[in-house]
Chains A and B, each alone.
Chain A
Amino acid sequence: MKHQLISKTVREFAENEIQPMVAELDREARFPYEIVERMKPLHFFGLQVPKNLGGAGLDTISYAIVIEELSRVSAALGLCVTVHNSVGISPILEFGTREQINRFVPAMAAGDSIGAFCLTEANAGSDAGGVETSARETQDGYIINGTKIFVTNGGVAGTILVFAVTEGAGSAANVFIVERDRPGFLVGEIEDLCGMRANPVSSLFFEDCKVPRENLLGKPGQGLKIGLKGLDTGRIGIAAQALGIAQAAFEASVTYAKERQQFNKPISRFQTIQNYLADMATSIDAARLLLHRAAAFKDKGIPFSAQASMAKLFCSDTARTVTDMAVQIHGGYGYSKEYDVERYFRDAKVTQIYEGTSEVQRMVIARHILTQPS
């Protein structure tokens, strides 16, 4: 009953407050600060943050439902919220010192400081070992140099987790928390992307950016572990986001198929269209079950890395095929900006790419299979 109420609560907000302007935000590639203001008091920016730090204290299934419902209306805002909560906040909660948690999390949970996580570079992404951004240790901290690309929330982020390699003997990956106002931190131009256009995805530049020792997250050399754990949680969020896009495309298709007349009857009476709708519904249901299983594993403290990867792989593939079918069902109108399905189609594609490509998910799943005792 709680999960139903969470779903209805988010759906109501998203349909009333976001839906009326979602096409315009996409067209103008504009981040909706005014909607973010309305989302803040409803705890969208502290979904799983404990209540004493200003969050909602939700379980992971609720979290997945929130992201699905939000993304059903605006995948770009769903992306902002899931990245902020999963790879932005959760690594600090999990690996941060008490001092770091108290320093960063309350402002993030309130939505006053948006989180971002930057791993990808020109020569690194799926291969995290290729990171070139460096952190030189000094007497009282670190000096970071490098360029990160395709950073979700990059244009608006206030608290940024940066993946960098510490120079010197036994060079190791580390994650640093960088505040937006640090000298040497610069935001690049907002990317002109195919989808997710209302999210300010950008490059971030670090030019002799000094951070104090207290901004190193976790123990020295723990970077890879923090990154991988963060991505496991992040994948649940992206799976939920992809699912929301698929659900929206499916609902639009059902409505359209009942209305659109060809050969003197609604196209929903044709078996071909019925088969499309049946396949869409089946994939979406299967995707949701995989996702909620991964979320339930996480809530119960069971290792969920492979389950999260399966959910992410299947949800994003589902989003792509379902949005493709949705455009097909809509025919010429589906290819027009007059209808929402072309946006779903564009937004869906990237869910197969970021937070670990579909190929990387298969790698993770295969590794899990092959390391099981036989």
Chain B
Amino acid sequence: MKTFKIIICIKQVPMVSELPWDAKTGTLKRELAQGMMDPSSRRAVEAGLQIKEIRSAAGEHTQIIALSMGPPMAAEILYQAKAVGADKGVLLSDRRMAGADTFLTSFILAQYIKRQEPDVDLVLCGSQTSDSETAQVGPQLAGELSIPAIGYASDIKLQGNLLRVQRHVDDFLEILEMDLPGLVTIDQGAYDPRYTSLGGVQDAFESGAFEYNAEDTDIVQVDAKGLGLDDTFNAVKDSPTRILDVYSPTTQKENMVLKGAPKIVVDQLFDGYGKIISSAMGKDLKTHSHTGE
């Protein structure tokens, strides 16, 4: 039986929620924080592992490849993916690829998949990373690969060569079916990731050398040349995105404290905010007289 091949795109992000940015380039000063696997990526890994486990119980083989682009230190998250059950980790790393925007990131990821894993069945991504939150790489990658994509999935089920995807959209629950190969991004509330076992970490680091452009090790590093990018490729120069300005949003909210006896407080609340509350509840509150008159 054919091996079902899943590629999970993961990213290393800074461990803290707020980082200072470089005023000149408009990019985050990532070197100031320890790295970790993006929380959303971890959910994508979990979704992939669950498919692998279901198939494995039925005696069917699945290969999970964790794919990331980043500096050499990002290899850590590939070891982590391996520790929880990925079969192989691939790090796309080159100084010339540094500074890529989402458009070029998707292009580079697609370049690897097209060259090395053209027979991929399912590509999984987190819906959006915790450091830049663009939610663009997944859908753009599907575009580059010319495969269908569904974003913000809360549940995925494999049925033959069909993927049944459930997602929440506003107040609706959608169930969609997609032919494979395809790409799915996993929603932030779905697939709570498992903890990494210590034996898993040990295994991941015992599983072979980490080499540039090697093909037979469990964790592989590939540079721009290995991806077939030409000598003039330069992500900073070639990225079409220009960040014009970065600033902290100023808070627009103002708290208001209503004082007095409960009846007075309630009256004040409905006089001031009755319309807003009505529209939020979808009910006309006029029919429920609050004054008791």
Partners in one complex: yes
Given A2-B205, A56-B202, A42 contacting B197 (CB threshold 8 A) = yes
Select the stretch in A7-15, A29-37, A261-269 that faces chain B: A7-15
Residue contacts A-B, CB under 8 angstroms, 21 given: A1-B76, A1-B205, A2-B201, A4-B34, A4-B76, A5-B83, A6-B198, A6-B201, A9-B80, A9-B195, A9-B198, A9-B201, A10-B198, A42-B197, A43-B199, A47-B198, A56-B198, A56-B201, A56-B202, A57-B202, A58-B202
Q: Which B residues lie within 8 Å of A220 (CB)? A: none
Q: Could you list which residues of chain B lie within 8 angstroms of chain A, going by C-beta atoms? A: 34, 36, 73, 75-76, 79-80, 83, 195-199, 201-203, 205
A42 touches B198 (CB 8 A): yes
Of B79, B195, B198, B203, most buried by chain A (CB within 10 Å of CB) is B198
A5 touches B80 (CB 8 A): yes
Shortest A370–chain B CB gap in Å is 39
Instruction: Report the bound CA distance from A51 to B198 in whole Å.
Output: 11
Partner of B195, one of A13, A46, A66: A13
Shortest A35–chain B CB gap in Å is 12
Q: Which B residues lie within 8 Å of A4 (CB)? A: 34, 76
B76 touches A12 (CB 8 A): no
Q: How many inter-chain contacts with C-beta < 8 Å in the A-B complex?
A: 59
Instruction: Report the bound CA distance from A1 to B202 in whole Å.
Output: 11
Shortest A34–chain B CB gap in Å is 15
A66 touches B76 (CB 8 A): no
Give A25-67 interface residues, CB cut-off 8 Å to B: 38, 41-44, 46-47, 51, 55-58, 62, 66
Shortest A56–chain B CB gap in Å is 4
Instruction: Report the bound CA distance from A43 to B73 in whole Å.
Output: 26
Q: Which B residues lie within 8 Å of A41 (CB)? A: 197
> 5 more A-B contacts (CB under 8 A) besides A9-B80, A66-B198?
A1-B79, A2-B79, A4-B76, A43-B199, A44-B198
Q: Which A residues lie within 8 Å of B196 (CB)? A: 5, 9, 12, 42
Shortest A209–chain B CB gap in Å is 35
Instruction: Report the bound CA distance from A47 to B199 in whole Å.
Output: 8
A42 touches B79 (CB 8 A): no
Which residue of chain B has the shortest Cβ distance to A65 in the bound complex?
A: B198
Q: Which A residues lie within 8 Å of B197 (CB)? A: 41-43, 56
Q: Which B residues lie within 8 Å of A62 (CB)? A: 198, 202
Shortest A126–chain B CB gap in Å is 33
Shortest A165–chain B CB gap in Å is 38
Q: Which A residues lie within 8 Å of B34 (CB)? A: 4, 8
Instruction: Report the bound CA distance from A90 to B199 in whole Å.
Output: 17
Shortest A166–chain B CB gap in Å is 38
Shortest A355–chain B CB gap in Å is 23
Which residue of chain A has the shortest Cβ distance to B210 in the bound complex?
A: A1
Instruction: Report the bound CA distance from A46 to B195 in whole Å.
Output: 17
Q: Which B residues lie within 8 Å of A57 (CB)? A: 199, 202
Shortest B39–chain A CB gap in Å is 11
Shortest B20–chain A CB gap in Å is 16
Q: Which A residues lie within 8 Å of B80 (CB)? A: 5, 9
Which residue of chain B has the shortest Cβ distance to A8 in the bound complex?
A: B36
Q: Which A residues lie within 8 Å of B79 (CB)? A: 1-2, 5
